[in-house]
C-alpha cells in the first residue's frame, strides 16, 4: 500500500507543473526584504502563503511572530503549519524562509527580477531558488497528500520563517527560543543548500573566525628604516607565523571538504600611498574555518602567543577585532534518522547515493543543532542564489517534493 501511495503521490506532484509556476509567480511578485536591506519585511508574502496553506487544507496554522520596530507591522512573520499523521510521536519538519536578498545590479538581469520568466524547465526570478524552491516543494508534497486523502506516518510540519538572509534573529532563532514546536525526536530538513545531483546532505559546519589585525609601529623615510618601526614587516611576519596553525591543529575529518581546518590571510588595507615611506600602521584580516573538534578559544590562544612574539621582536603593538565569530554547533550524526531517511528517499527518487557532508560556511541548521535538534540541509539545485538571473528547475521542485513525500511515508 505504501508503494502504491508513493506512486500516486508522485503522479499527483508531476501533474502540478502549472500550479508550481503560478505559486512561484505569486511569491516572486511579493518581495520580502529585510529592513537591513531597505525592505519592509515579509508580511505581504507571508499573508499570501497563509492563504495558500488554508487553500490546500493543512490541519493547523500558528504564528510565532518576532517583534521588530523597524518594519511597518511591528513584527516579522513566522508560520508553523501542520498536517496530522498516523502518529504524533514525532514531526517531520521542512523549514524554508520567506525573505530574499536584493536583486543587485538590475542591468545584469535579462528580465524583471520580480516577474517570473518561464524558459522550458527553468524559472527565472529573485528568490525562485533561494528559498522558494524548497518552500514550493514542501507545499506540493502536502497538497498531494491532502488531495489524495493519504495520511502520513507522522505529523508533517512546515516552518516558513523570516530573516534567514540577515541573521535569523527574527526568524528561526526566535521560534526555537520562544516556542515548543520542536522536539528531540523530530526530523528537521532545511532545503536551502545542495548540489546539482542532489547527493549532498549537509550535517556539520566549521566554526568561522574572521579577525582584523592592526599593527602599530613608527612611520619614517624608506631610506632610514632604523628611525622607525616597520608595521608592515611585523604584520607580514605574523602572517607567515600563522601558517604553523595547520600543524598545530592537524586533525582531518572526511565529512568535510576540505577535510582540515583552514587558516588563511585575506583582505589587506592600504597603509602608505608612496613607495619610499616605512608604514607606521598596517591592517590585515584572516579567515579561519575550524573543525568542530577544536574550540575557537584554543586557536585564539595560539595566535595570541604569536602576536606576543612579533610584538617583542619588532617593537610594535598589535590589536585585534572579530568582525565575525560563529562557533560550530555539534554536528548531526551521519547515521541520524533524518540522514538515513533522506538517503533512502534520494536513492529512490533521484537514483543517486546521498552523502553526509560538512561545509565551511554557515546555515540556519546550526541554530537547530545548538538547541539540541538533529537537522540536515538538503536540496537539489544549481546554487544560483544571490546571483543575477537566479533560476531554478521545475523538475527539481517536483523531485524535491517527491523526496519529502517519500520521507513523510517512511515508518
Active site residues: 99, 164
> CA-CA distance, 49 to 51, in Å (whole number)?
5
Report which DSSP code applies to 229. B
Residue 281: strand, helix, or coil:
strand
- Cα dihedral 83, 84, 87, 88 in deg (nearest 10): 80
> CA-CA distance, 8 to 2, in Å (whole number)?
10
> From edge to edge, which strands make up the β-sheet containing 154-161?
60-63, 79-83, 154-161, 87-97, 187-190, 375-377, 200-205, 355-359
Contact by Cβ (8 Å): 32, 45: yes
> CA-CA distance, 396 to 384, in Å (whole number)?
13
Q: Helices 43-56 and 132-148: crossing angle, nearest 10°?
A: 20
> CA-CA distance, 237 to 314, in Å (whole number)?
9
Amino acid at each position: 500500500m505504501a508503494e502504491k501511495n508513493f506512486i500516486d503521490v508522485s503522479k499527483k506532484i508531476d501533474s502540478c507543473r502549472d500550479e508550481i509556476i503560478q505559486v512561484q509567480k505569486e511569491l516572486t511578485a511579493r518581495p520580502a526584504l529585510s529592513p537591513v536591506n531597505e525592505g519592509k519585511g515579509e508580511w505581504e508574502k507571508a499573508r499570501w502563503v497563509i492563504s495558500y496553506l488554508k487553500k490546500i487544507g493543512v490541519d493547523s496554522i500558528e504564528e510565532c511572530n518576532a517583534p521588530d520596530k523597524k518594519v511597518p507591522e511591528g513584527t516579522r512573520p513566522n508560520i508553523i503549519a501542520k498536517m496530522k499523521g498516523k502518529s504524533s510521536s514525532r514531526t517531520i519538519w521542512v523549514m524554508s524562509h520567506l525573505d530574499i536578498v536584493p536583486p543587485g545590479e538590475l542591468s545584469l538581469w535579462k528580465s524583471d527580477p520580480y516577474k517570473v520568466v518561464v524558459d522550458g524547465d527553468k524559472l527565472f526570478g529573485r528568490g525562485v531558488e533561494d528559498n522558494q524552491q524548497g518552500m514550493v516543494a514542501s507545499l506540493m508534497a502536502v497538497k498531494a497528500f491532502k488531495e489524495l486523502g493519504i495520511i502520513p506516518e507522522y505529523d508533517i510540519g512546515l516552518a516558513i520563517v523570516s530573516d534567514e538572509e540577515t541573521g535569523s534573529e527574527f526568524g528561526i532563532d526566535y521560534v526555537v527560543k520562544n516556542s515548543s514546536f520542536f522536539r528531540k525526536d523530530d526530523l528537521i530538513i532545511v532545503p536551502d543548500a545542495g548540489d546539482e545531483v542532489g547527493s549532498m546532505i549537509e550535517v556539520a559546519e566549521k566554526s568561522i573566525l574572521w579577525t582584523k589585525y592592526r599593527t602599530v609601529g613608527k612611520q619614517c623615510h624608506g631610506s632610514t628604516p632604523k628611525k622607525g618601526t616597520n608595521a608592515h614587516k611585523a604584520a607580514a611576519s605574523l602572517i607567515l607565523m600563522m601558517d604553523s596553525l595547520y600543524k598545530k591543529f592537524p586533525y582531518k575529518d572526511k565529512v568535510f571538504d576540505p577535510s582540515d581546518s583552514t587558516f588563511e590571510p585575506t583582505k589587506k588595507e592600504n597603509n602608505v600611498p608612496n613607495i619610499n615611506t616605512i608604514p607606521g600602521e598596517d591592517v590585515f584580516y584572516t579567515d579561519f574555518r575550524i573543525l568542530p573538534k577544536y574550540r575557537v578559544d584554543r586557536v585564539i590562544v595560539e595566535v595570541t602567543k604569536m602576536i606576543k612574539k612579533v610584538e617583542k621582536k619588532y617593537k610594535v603593538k598589535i590589536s585585534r577585532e572579530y568582525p565575525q565569530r560563529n562557533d560550530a554547533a555539534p554536528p548531526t550524526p551521519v547515521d541520524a534518522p533524518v540522514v538515513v531517511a533522506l538517503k533512502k528517499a534520494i536513492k529512490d527518487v533521484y537514483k543517486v547515493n546521498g552523502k553526509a557532508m560538512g561545509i565551511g560556511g554557515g546555515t540556519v541548521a546550526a541554530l537547530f543543532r545548538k538547541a539540541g535538534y538533529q537537522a540536515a540541509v538538503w536540496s537539489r539545485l544549481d546554487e544560483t542564489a544571490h546571483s543575477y538571473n537566479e533560476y531554478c528547475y521545475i523538475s527539481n521542485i517536483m523531485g524535491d517534493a517527491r523526496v519529502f513525500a517519500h520521507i513523510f511515508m517512511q515508518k
